[in-house]
Structures are given as C-alpha cells and as structure tokens.
Structure 1
Amino acid sequence: MAIEHLPVDEASPLQTVHIIGQIASTTIGAGVGAQTIEILDRIDALLSDAGTDRSELVQANIWLRDLKAFGEMNTVWERWVTPGATPRRTTFEDCDLPRLCDIRVDVIAWRKTQGFEPT
C-alpha cells in the first residue's frame, strides 16, 4: 500500500469542535446541580454556533470540586444527554477549581455541518 501525502490545502478540514474550561458564571456559589444546568445550557449554545449539537458529542471531561456531588451532577447530565448518543465521559475531583465553582466541563463533538465557516 502506497502512502499518499496531501498538500495542506487539500487536507480535510477539522471536523471536531472542542469546548473547554466551561465553569459557572451566573450560578457561582449555587449548588453543583444549578451550576451544571448553566454550563450545559451554554455548551448547547456553543455547539449550535459551531454547527453541531449534543447528539454529536464523543467525549466529555468533568471536574468536580468534591466527588460527593457526583450524584447531583449526574442527575442533570443524564437528563441532558441525547438518549442513545451518550459520549465517553470521565469525571475527576479537583479541589483547585476557582472559588465558589463546583464544576468544570470540557466536551468534544463532531461537526455536523459540512463546509461550516466559523464567524
């Protein structure tokens, strides 16, 4: 099998969307459930702006200040994810999150729109 090298201008455009470092802003100091709702709503908007949606998620990383809050976060998460399209997810404990911030979320999704040009 011959290896084919493509010039950069002929390579396929990047077809993934990376949304990183999402923390609460309006619900800072509220419980992890409220912060999770705020963050996931923002992720929905950012995914839409990028030409995709939550049904195309392939990976999520979640950092919780305290893993004891996992159940509360997970209840919100399970209501939010698209049934049958649940991404691979890893949850970590991070005691060094910003003050009054109980959760941080990063996601990666496939871009649905071919030829999408970011604004």
Structure 2
Amino acid sequence: MTITRIDTGTRMSKIVKHNGTAYLCGQVGDGATVAEQTRDCLSRVEALLDNAGSSKEQILQAIIWVADMADFAEMNEVWDAWVPAGAAPARACGEAKLARPDLKVEIIVTAACAG
C-alpha cells in the first residue's frame, strides 16, 4: 500500500494521496468578506489539486464550513461560478466556529488523481 504525503509538517500534510485519491487539508482564504475569502480559498484548492495531479473537474467531495449560515448565499455565489458545469461534487455545508475569529469559510476537498 502506497501513501504519499505532500508538504508534511508536524501537525498535518497539505495533501495525502492514496489509491488514486487526493485528500486536501482544509483551506481558508484571505479577505474581509465571505466572497473574498471563498475566492482565495478556492484558488488555494486549485493550486493543491494541481500539485496532486488533479483538477477541480476531478473533485469527488467538498465539505464547506461557514462561520455564519447568514453568509451561505454569498459563499454559494462564488462556489457556483467556480465549479465546472457538469462536474459538481458531492457536497456538504454547515456552520462551525473556525480556528480564528476573522475566518468566515473553510473548504475541505477530496479528489480523484493520478497515482
């Protein structure tokens, strides 16, 4: 069994690959608004997917945490524009207290990948 860990630190790896699947650590973004943070977060997701040999078209599942469900529609507007037509993954979204008070959204992605 081969498990590949990319950008591994003491606490976590940014990417773990196993059996054609890439598991990304949770991503947060910079910005003052939910839309800005979501756009930045998704940009980081894309970079990690590229590093894993995958792409947003290959996302299998996304778990999204928002600090306040009042921001759900604003986050969805950015998400909907980003997800490729016909390639929407299985997805869950819930409200959670995030690691820092300034964070408004965190996205966790699992995707198919090469090797």
Q: Same fold (TM over 0.5)?
A: yes
Query: SS in structure 2 opposite 1:22?
Result: coil
Q: CA deviation at 1:83?
A: 0.6
Q: What TM-score, normalized by structure 1, do the two folds share?
A: 0.78
Is 1:32 the counterpart of 2:37? The answer is no
Q: Which aligned segments of 4 or more residues in structure 1 are displaced greater than 6 angstroms? A: none
Q: CA deviation at 1:80?
A: 0.4
Task: Give the counterpart letter for 1:98 in structure 2.
Answer: R
Q: CA deviation at 1:96?
A: 4.1
Task: Give the counterpart letter for 2:79 in structure 1.
Answer: W
**Larger RCO (alpha carbons 8 Å, 6+ apart):** 1
Structure label with greater radius of gyration: 1
Query: SS in structure 2 opposite 1:23?
Result: coil
CA offsets, 1:3-41, max 9 Å, x none?
Answer: xxxxx58xxx621011122112x32xx100000000000
Report the equivalent of 2:24. 19
Where does the alignment leave 5 or more consecutive residues of structure 1 unmatched? 1-7
Relative to structure 1, the CA distance from residue 41 to residue 96 in structure 2 (aligned partners, 3 Å threshold; closer, same or farther) is closer
Paired residues, number: 100
Tell me the distance in 2 between the aligned counterparts of 1:19 and 1:96. 17
Report the equivalent of 2:43. 41
Give 1:18-97 correspondences, 5 Å limit.
18-24=23-29, 26-27=30-31, 30-97=32-99
- Bigger strand fraction: 2
RMSD: 1.5
Tell me the distance in 1 between the aligned counterparts of 2:47 and 2:81. 17
Tell me the distance in 2 between the aligned counterparts of 1:63 and 1:54. 18
CA offsets, 1:47-79, max 9 Å, x none?
Answer: 001101000001000000000100000000000
Task: Give the counterpart letter for 1:78 in structure 2.
Answer: D
Query: SS in structure 2 opposite 1:83?
Result: coil
Q: CA deviation at 1:99?
A: 1.6
